[in-house]
Structure 1
Amino acid sequence: MEFGYFPFDLNGTLKSTLDEIRALGIGCDEWEVEREIGKLGLRSDVLARPLRTLSKGEQTKIKLAALFLKEIGFLLIDEPTNHLDENGRALMASYLAGKKGFILVSHDRALLDAATDHTLSINKTNIEIQRGNFSSWYRNRALRDQFEAAENEKLQKEIRRLETAAAQAKHWADQVEASKIGGGVCRSETKSIGGRAYIGEKSRRMQQRRKNLERSRQRAVEEKSALLHDLEKNEELRIRPLSYRAELLAEFRGISVFFGENVICDAVHFQINRGDRIAL
């Protein structure tokens, strides 16, 4: 089976976008290409333009349409909604919903819900596949995590109980062991209960009980570990800004931003003061 990957690089130097598509070895008539890109909201006149004159979003659509026109056996599509606006993402979701034979990797949950019917999850210790879109998988995962977290709490309580019992048994065993050399039992008491033989047997039993409790605790720990192997925690994100004495950190005047020869914004003035938080 042949596999294809998106995104990929086109030649980028040919006369027209149609030439770029045909250079991939796609044996389609021009009307078939026009029909395919039309499903993604592109007009046919883009095919006559050089690829470099197309926006990033238009290039994304051209590349994806070309892959499906090539009829490769199976596609791995990685983040196809990059460079697309809201309308473009909706068109992409509708387009992929009508296709088969691909794995879609995306942070766009709406796209995943609209375009997929199975979800493959790469967990910490295994890989699972489940019928349904992302939302159904996410609900099932949340319910499973909730159940496993409740079971974990029960196990933690049991482990604490076993640890307390094991510590107590060790303390008793140590006391009895010390009495074998006369450290904790008087001579008259030793004679009355059968002497050192009795104390030795009692010590042996206490040590055995301690070992049994330790094995039970270890089994509980192993069970806990097996239960929690797929639970994930969100680590706390801490931002510690550096301290500056000056109030004004930077000032920009008359800034212009270009994309190629196109002006994105012009004559921008702004300041960055101590403590400001700026979103890009």
Structure 2
Amino acid sequence: MGTIQFKALTFNYSDQTQPLFDHVTLQFDASWKLGLIGRNGRGKTTLLKLLQHQLPFDGQLVTNLDFQYFPQTVTEPTQLTRDILMQLGNLDNSTFWQVERELRLLQVAPEIVWQPFASLSPGEQTKMLLALLFIDDYHFQLIDEPTNHLDQEGRQVVANYLRQKAGFIVVSHDRHFLNQVIDHVLAINRADITVHQGNYQTWQTAHDQQAAYDQQLKGNIKRLTKTAQQKAQWSHEAEKGKNAASVKTESANLDKGFISHRAAKVMKRATTIANRAEEAIEAKQQLFKNVEIAAPLTINQRPLKPGQNVLSVDELVLQQDGVILNQPLSLTLEAGQQVALTGINGAGKSTLIKALLALPATDHITSSSLHP
């Protein structure tokens, strides 16, 4: 199929003091099912843009492939979904059946293509764009978070599709999804970019082994740092002793030359040992450069007493454009409780959340009808 090569590729945004990518040299085969992973802000989406030459960079990008990015950009979401899909996919009335076929596989009613794109749920919008991805056999695909807003059935459909495809790059934070579909991992680390053969679990195992080694490395650095500090102190004391001996009176009957020579030897030896310790620390810290530092997760919320009601809803019914979306809903949520909101794409999960966010901040809500 071809290859993709980075040769000393360097890129940074104008407001960055350090390059996001610094002289990256990589090569990978276009037949690989490649999972692109890395923490938020590391440059996963940026890397996909660089592959499409959407951003300026230094170095070389060598490939014979044509790329297609998912999700595609919808510039006029008020248009009918069918018209948008035809424009994005370069389709006409005689070829649109391919999209309808994929929509059935994605468990989406084909008739909703006659609705404005903006009126679809986020999950339905994702599935519409995925249908275009599934019928494209001519591009190497750069797939950015394809499982966003998808229900479990939809995620499995996407996984089944990608398992059958010859090669792609996919970005996802869903580990289970990645384990099903990839055979190589491209990891953007703190200090470099590495390629690993295997799925996400294979990479995770290697990463955990590295973490254990890093813990040992921390101990070694701490020990070497202490040694360097001790040697520096010995050097200082030797120099101090040499100066003190030089001001002794003759009545002390000391051999000043011997004291000076011995102090100099001790100081030189201590300084050499201290320098070696510093060099060892520097070498080990270079090995330590990719260690991830996890910031604590905090939630800014007012203190609540155990058992205190956070939300109470009685006979809540949602309506949208005159259509009733749910049976009357009653619930009480107490401090410390966790509730999962589930349902197929288009069932109204996001609509319910938006309606609850729009409600007044009261402890008890009784409503027979809400219009989000």
Q: Taking structure 1 as the reference length, what is the TM-score of the superposition?
A: 0.78
User: How far apart, CA to CA, are the structure 2 residues paired with 1:267 and 1:42?
Assistant: 26
**Shift of residue 237 of structure 1?**
4.1
**Shift of residue 141 of structure 1?**
1.1
- Greater RCO, CA 8 A, separation 6+: 2
Cα distance change, pair 208–51 in 1 and its aligned pair in 2 (3 A): same
Q: In structure 2, which of residues 69, 75, 80 is the aligned counterpart of residue 5 of structure 1?
A: 69
User: How far apart, CA to CA, are the structure 1 residues paired with 2:317 and 2:126?
Assistant: 23
Cα distance change, pair 236–34 in 1 and its aligned pair in 2 (3 A): closer
Q: In structure 2, which of residues 229, 246, 264 is the aligned counterpart of residue 204 of structure 1?
A: 264
Query: How high is the sequence identity, in percent, across the aligned residues?
Result: 28
Give 3-state SS (helix, strand or coil) of 1:229's partner: coil
Cα distance change, pair 154–21 in 1 and its aligned pair in 2 (3 A): same
Cα deviation 1:166-216 (Å, max 9, x = unaligned): 32342233122211112xx873431xx3xx333332332233223212211
Cα deviation 1:202-248 (Å, max 9, x = unaligned): 33223322321221121122022112111123334456765699x97
User: How far apart, CA to CA, are the structure 1 residues paired with 2:189 and 2:282?
Assistant: 19
Amino acid at match of 2:269: R
Cα distance change, pair 101–113 in 1 and its aligned pair in 2 (3 A): same
**Shift of residue 155 of structure 1?**
3.8
1:19 lines up with 2:79 in the alignment: no
1:136 lines up with 2:202 in the alignment: yes
1:75 lines up with 2:75 in the alignment: no
Native 8 Å contact 2:231 2:274 kept in 1: no
Native 8 Å contact 2:235 2:268 kept in 1: no
Cα distance change, pair 141–267 in 1 and its aligned pair in 2 (3 A): closer
Structure 2 residue ranges without an equivalent (≥5): 1-64, 340-372
User: How far apart, CA to CA, are the structure 1 residues paired with 2:160 and 2:289?
Assistant: 37
Structure 1 residue ranges without an equivalent (≥5): none
Cα distance change, pair 141–71 in 1 and its aligned pair in 2 (3 A): same
Indicate the residue corresponding to 1:229 in structure 2: 289
Give 3-state SS (helix, strand or coil) of 2:90's partner: coil
Amino acid at match of 2:184: H
Q: Taking structure 2 as the reference length, what is the TM-score of the superposition?
A: 0.61
Give 3-state SS (helix, strand or coil) of 2:108's partner: coil
Amino acid at match of 2:272: N
Amino acid at match of 1:67: L
Alignment of 1:1-280 (within 5 A): 1-10=65-74, 11-15=76-80, 17-27=81-91, 29-48=95-114, 50-52=116-118, 54-71=120-137, 73-182=139-248, 187-190=251-254, 193=255, 196-237=256-297, 242=302, 254=314, 256=316, 258=318, 260-261=320-321, 262-264=324-326, 266=328, 268=330, 270=332, 276-277=335-336, 279=338
Amino acid at match of 2:273: L
User: How far apart, CA to CA, are the structure 1 residues paired with 2:153 and 2:309?
Assistant: 39
Find the structure with the greater CA-based Rg: 1
User: How far apart, CA to CA, are the structure 1 residues paired with 2:304 and 2:212?
Assistant: 45
**Shift of residue 72 of structure 1?**
5.7
**Shift of residue 127 of structure 1?**
0.5
User: How far apart, CA to CA, are the structure 1 residues paired with 2:199 and 2:205?
Assistant: 10
Q: Compare 146-155 and 102-111 and name the one that shifted more.
A: 146-155
**Shift of residue 267 of structure 1?**
6.2
- Equivalences, count: 269
Amino acid at match of 1:123: N
Native 8 Å contact 1:26 1:70 kept in 2: no
Cα distance change, pair 84–165 in 1 and its aligned pair in 2 (3 A): same
Amino acid at match of 1:125: A
Cα distance change, pair 251–98 in 1 and its aligned pair in 2 (3 A): closer
- Greater per-residue helix proportion: 1
**Shift of residue 126 of structure 1?**
0.2
